[in-house]
Amino acid sequence: MKMYKYTLYMKKVYTWLTKLLRAMAELAGLDTLIIGTEAGRISREIAAGNINANTIVTSEQFSAADKLVTGKMLAGLVDHTQLSAFASLKDIEKLAKEAHALETASVCVNEGRIRDAADILYDLTSKVKVCCVIGFPLGAATSHIKSYSAVDAVKIRADEVDMVINVGYLKDKDTKRFKEDIDRVMFHLWEYTSNHKKNDVVLKVILENCYLTSEEIVYATQTVAKLAKNYLPTRNHSGLKVFVKTSTGFGTPAKGHVPKKDYGKGMVDTAVGAAIEDVYLMRQAIDEVTKVTRHGDTPSDTTNQDDNYKYVVGIKAAGGVKDRETALKMMVAAGCLIRDEQTSEYKLRDDYKDLFRIGASATKEICK
């Protein structure tokens, strides 16, 4: 009994100290979210307007991407999406048939439609995968519910799972619960797929950037990248492939894609979907954490290279990607384009499919 009372007392002390430290940090104007130095610098440059969509993707890069990327290649990066609350079986059948004809990466549906989509694609002998969303669109469900939903989705026949973060935890700077919410889903997915020898499962973590400052975007992205390291492929298991996703497309500030106007000065209320600046910032944040070494890279400084960090976390741009031009610019911002050392010409990375995905319903327009 004494030990129990002592434990309760220590928990209260810890809670009180945590609140005190946060209050002191706010009064002192200090950042309580720890982010990488380079990604932090880039976020400030974006906030100051020194980095924007036009500087991120040059006309030369866009022209190169336009020549290199065919409509079929773009289709292979798309999660063809139908997440309407009133989507009927006919809507899901239409979605699956379109995805099969276009050869998209997946169809993305709500949990209750996983089996329907899987059955239709099976009958079509399609290679298109089934993706579903959990904790959608608010991310406010408990971590237990999210992790159960993720495993249940895979049991039902989902190949990929898109989960929404708890935005409130991030806004509170409650880093402990924020990390645990994501890590619990990662762990239970990895555990289930390991035990059942189900390989190639993909988890995409949705940040809902329209509610976040640039600092929060960097912190959330780097948190996901750090956690992903724990679930890398092993000799007996293919591991968990992880993406960080920009948006649900259901955010309340606005409808459709609107460029960000006030980066890093509080909650951004002008954009609901993917922004080129977001995608670029997320790629810089990921690469700073993972110190990625990919085929074709020529890093200027490899002295701090860590072999354990040679892995890729992908980015999924979702919400407002409705045409080929936007998709290509997002693709460049995500780091899919590099210069060839021999010819100095731009080329696609060999692993571009691991680097980038698009969540969209306007797939036909994107793949023209």
Asked if residue 331 lies in contact with residue 366, where contact means CB atoms within 8 angstroms, the answer is: no
More confident position, 260 or 68: 68
Average pLDDT of the chain, as a whole number: 85
Name the active-site residue from 129, 260, 316, 329.
Answer: 316
Which one of 162, 181, 278, 287 is the catalytic residue?
162
Tens digit of pLDDT for each residue in 174-193?
999 999 999 999 999 999 99
Summarize pLDDT for 307-323 with one digit per residue, the tens. 444 688 999 999 889 99
| pLDDT at residue 8, as a whole number | 59
Residues paired with residue 206 on neighbouring β-strands, in sequence order? 164, 245
**Annotation says 162 is catalytic:** yes
- What's the DSSP call for residue 166? -
Identify whether 316 is a catalytic site residue: yes
The residues pairing with 112 across neighbouring beta strands, listed in sequence order, are none
- Yes or no: say if 96 and 124 are a contact pair by the CB < 8 Å rule: yes
More confident residue, 349 or 258: 349
Amino acid at 306: D
Q: Distance between CA atoms of 354 and 314, rounded to whole angstroms?
A: 6
User: Once rounded to an integer, what is the mean pLDDT over residues 256-264?
Assistant: 43
Domain ranges across the chain? 1-30, 36-366
Query: Looking at the predicted structure, is the pLDDT value of residue 171 above 70?
Result: yes
- Give the residue-averaged pLDDT of 161-176: 96
Q: Phi and psi (nearest 5°) for 357?
A: -140, 160
pLDDT of residue 225: 95
The tens digit of pLDDT for each residue in 195-240 reads: 888 888 999 999 999 889 899 999 999 999 999 998 987 777 778 9
Q: Work out the percent of the chain whose per-residue pLDDT is above 70.
A: 80
Residue-wise pLDDT tens digits, 33-75: 888 888 989 988 888 888 988 999 999 999 999 999 999 999 9
The pLDDT of 99-108, averaged and rounded, is 98
> Residue 18: what pLDDT?
54
Q: Residue 253's pLDDT band (boundaries 50, 70, 90)?
A: low
From residue 163, alpha-carbon distances to 272, 278, 313 in Å are 17, 18, 15
Active-site annotation holder among 241, 245, 260, 329: 245
Q: Higher model confidence: residue 25 or residue 250?
A: 250
Q: Which residues of 79-112 are buried (b: 16+ CB within 10 A; e: fewer)?
A: bbbbbeeebeeeebeebbebbbebebbbbbbbbe
Query: How is domain 36-366 classified at the architecture level of CATH?
Result: Alpha-Beta Barrel (3.20)
User: Quick one: pLDDT band at residue 87, thresholds 50, 70, 90?
Assistant: very high
- Annotated active-site residue 12? The verdict is no
Confidence of residue 3 (pLDDT cuts 50, 70, 90): low
List pLDDT tens digits, range 110-164: 999 999 999 999 999 999 999 999 999 999 999 999 999 999 999 999 999 999 9
pTM value is: 0.84
